Amino acid sequence: MCGIVAYVGSREAAPLIVKGLKRLEYRGYDSSGIAVITDQALKVFKKKGKVKDLEVVLANQNNLGNIGIGHTRWATHGEPNDVNAHPHMSNSGRLAIIHNGIIENYASLKQMLLNKGYEFKSQTDTEVLVNFIEEIQKTKNCELPDAVRLALKDVVGAYAIVVLDKENPGQLVAARKGSPLVIGVGHEEYFFASDATPIIEYTKEVVYLDDLEIAIVNQDGLTIKNLQNEEQDPEIQTVELELEAIEKGGFDHFMLKEIFEQPKSIADCLRGRVNPDEAIIQLGGLRSHIGKLAKAKRIVFVACGTSWHAGLVGEYLFEELARINVEVEYASEFRYRNPIIKEGDFVIAISQSGETADTLAALEMAKSKGAVILGVCNVVGSSISRITEAGVYTHAGPEIGVASTKAFTAQVTVLTMMAIATAHAKGTLSDETYRQLLIEMAAIPEKVEKILEKSEEIKDISKLFTFASNFIFLGRGLNFPVALEGALKLKEISYIHAEGYPAAEMKHGPIALIDEDMPVVFIAIKDSSYEKVVSNIQEVKARKGRVIAIVSEGDRDVKSMVDFAIEVPKTHEVLQPLLTVIPLQLLSYYIAVLRGRNVDQPRNLAKSVTVE
């Protein structure tokens, strides 16, 4: 939530920062702004709306100097407007700050500053922080890095900040706790950003700042200190991210590009891990953990949103294949519930961003109670991937559309590999089933490709449901989480109210909603619950509901009883979610586009939820 970018070097800062903000707009997009130092003056430009609205404000500005900070906001304190937009300036006009996170004790700090005569223009916690830093700088008569460090000792909450000081026009001071911050190290130039995407065009050398560290960049280069003022050795890493991976590449939206990337992203996820010819499955990141997982009494998946749905698929997989007791928890509930965790329990976080605040906190809590903590993350170097004992990267590539698509299928692919490897180690899978599963897994990318070829057909179906007010998604077994995911996709990008249910639960309430205006999407593939789902379809049709069914290739029976059927290729039952979710992603996408929604940046949402 919120994207931050900063630059100091010999390039013109403002255009570089604005370009970076566009790359981070997925993190928040209700207002944006920049602060620069030019002609010894600290200037702030900010605007409610998207970064393109800020560009209009900047259109007539000439070179604004070689140092600056920028922010794209997802509002927490104070409504989205020009005043609450970042950067925020201190009362004297000397300092400007950008901030991603929440200062939880801002109210008491604000009262203390009000008592001392400070005035506030915005409703934000961030304006309190910059004035608190200024107050320390004045009263202790210290340099900015010390003032930031001392201020942060008294701050409760989460932050990634960068501060600019008019009196030091070659210096940037940054710090983080709980919110991500990457430093790009170029030739006599430095970049700060919430992720590496604004940086990779200029340098691939980065340092991931750790929690409770402060980074100072000035004529002496980069210095990193902890809050105790002890210098830390920066670990420079090389990011393997290419520019084309973060561009739309001819697609209308990132979401569509990401849906169509799934044959490749699933193949990338399987590459070097699944080898059906030699009947090998290996997960490098878990090499020394698979044997322990096989002996686990309990696995707890913690996640939010789409990643939680992937966790539900993981529950079915581990129970079915490896016969291990699994629980799937919303991270936000788990972390505050004082759950019972026994020594040796595995708590596995699933997160695309690796930065979701609740998931991170749930993991930290589980660790403190003695659990072995593992991660399934997409973003390399993310906070979750760094605090976990071991884990598996999903290798889906950057996911920029706010609605998660390729990250979900990559998460399910990883969880499937983990479950198969664990089951094989445990001996709960016959050799034949094991081999069969590996062969079927390797064939998934091609089968996804076949479903994507039906996109025009799905678009035509979408046209007939564009103005529906409600939708129900139903599935059983492994396809129940897919029903939940279908409903989430539709509501988040089209703003149509949608519910996902286990198909059999329909009789216990939702059936009252069925009439001729209610579209019901069934996942009705030929698996062990096929007959039961068919009965549920009959129940809906008897009440005049309009049914769209996801069916197995060649299934004429269901086709004859529903309004629309979308065929998916056959595969092993436990791999079906990787196929059945694809038509649901496309259905949501086309409906949202037809309704004129901003599918990549739906209202009120942000890609990376770094506040609880």
Applying CB under 6 A, the residues found at the interface with ligand M6R are 304-307, 351-353, 356, 359, 402-404, 488, 492, 605, 608-609
Query: Which H/E stretch holds residue 300?
Result: strand 298-303
Which residue's CB is nearer to ligand M6R, number 100 or number 404? 404
Quick one: which of 307, 578, 587 has its CA closest to 445?
578
Which residue's CB is nearer to ligand M6R, number 14 or number 303? 303
In whole angstroms, the minimum distance from the beta carbon of 80 to ligand M6R comes to: 19
Catalytic residue (one of 46, 447, 489, 607): 607
In whole angstroms, the minimum distance from the beta carbon of 25 to ligand M6R comes to: 15
- Between CA 321 and CA 486 the distance in angstroms is 25
DSSP alpha helices (H): ranges in 59-170? Answer: 106-115, 125-140, 144-153
In whole angstroms, the minimum distance from the beta carbon of 522 to ligand M6R comes to: 22
Both tokens assigned to 229: 């003022």
Which residue's CB is nearer to ligand M6R, number 200 or number 304? 304
Quick one: which of 315, 348, 303 has its CA closest to 478?
315
Which residue's CB is nearer to ligand M6R, number 21 or number 402? 402
Which residue's CB is nearer to ligand M6R, number 216 or number 365? 365
Q: Which residue is nearest to ligand M6R (CB)?
A: 305
In whole angstroms, the minimum distance from the beta carbon of 604 to ligand M6R comes to: 11
Max CA pair span of the chain: 80
Known active-site residue 369: no
Cβ-Cβ contacts under 8 Å for 388 (sequence gap 6 or more): 349, 363, 373, 374, 375
Both tokens assigned to 187: 């030739």
Inter-residue contact 493 to 592 (CB < 8 Å) = yes
Inter-residue contact 467 to 505 (CB < 8 Å) = no
- Between CA 42 and CA 35 the distance in angstroms is 7
Which residue's CB is nearer to ligand M6R, number 402 or number 503? 402
Inter-residue contact 415 to 328 (CB < 8 Å) = no
In whole angstroms, the minimum distance from the beta carbon of 105 to ligand M6R comes to: 26
Known active-site residue 142: no
In whole angstroms, the minimum distance from the beta carbon of 394 to ligand M6R comes to: 10
Quick one: which of 360, 395, 392 has its CA closest to 376?
392
- Between CA 420 and CA 439 the distance in angstroms is 12
- Between CA 575 and CA 529 the distance in angstroms is 15
Which residue's CB is nearer to ligand M6R, number 31 or number 385? 385
Which amino acid, residue 192? F
Which amino acid, residue 351? S
Which residue's CB is nearer to ligand M6R, number 6 or number 402? 402
Which residue's CB is nearer to ligand M6R, number 14 or number 310? 310
In whole angstroms, the minimum distance from the beta carbon of 408 to ligand M6R comes to: 8
Inter-residue contact 158 to 181 (CB < 8 Å) = no
- Cα–Cα separations (whole angstroms), residue 575 to 217, 413, 476: 49, 8, 14
Both tokens assigned to 111: 């009262």
Both tokens assigned to 55: 């560009």
Inter-residue contact 97 to 128 (CB < 8 Å) = no
In whole angstroms, the minimum distance from the beta carbon of 146 to ligand M6R comes to: 35
- Between CA 559 and CA 44 the distance in angstroms is 61
Catalytic residue (one of 2, 269, 304, 377): 2
Which residue's CB is nearer to ligand M6R, number 72 or number 306? 306
Which amino acid, residue 489? K
Cβ-based neighbour number of residue 288 at 10 Å? 9
- Between CA 500 and CA 485 the distance in angstroms is 8
In whole angstroms, the minimum distance from the beta carbon of 356 to ligand M6R comes to: 3
In whole angstroms, the minimum distance from the beta carbon of 194 to ligand M6R comes to: 13
Which residue's CB is nearer to ligand M6R, number 47 or number 489? 489
Compute the 3-state secondary structure of the chain and give helix, strand, coil in percent, each to the nearest 5: 40, 25, 35
Pairing of strands 205-208, 237-238: antiparallel
Quick one: which of 602, 561, 1 has its CA closest to 253?
602
Phi, psi of 156 (to 5 degrees): -110, 130
Return the C-alpha torsion angle 119, 121, 122, 123, nearest 10: 50
What 3-state class would DSSP assign to 501? strand
- Between CA 396 and CA 262 the distance in angstroms is 8
In whole angstroms, the minimum distance from the beta carbon of 101 to ligand M6R comes to: 16
Give catalytic residue positions. 2, 607
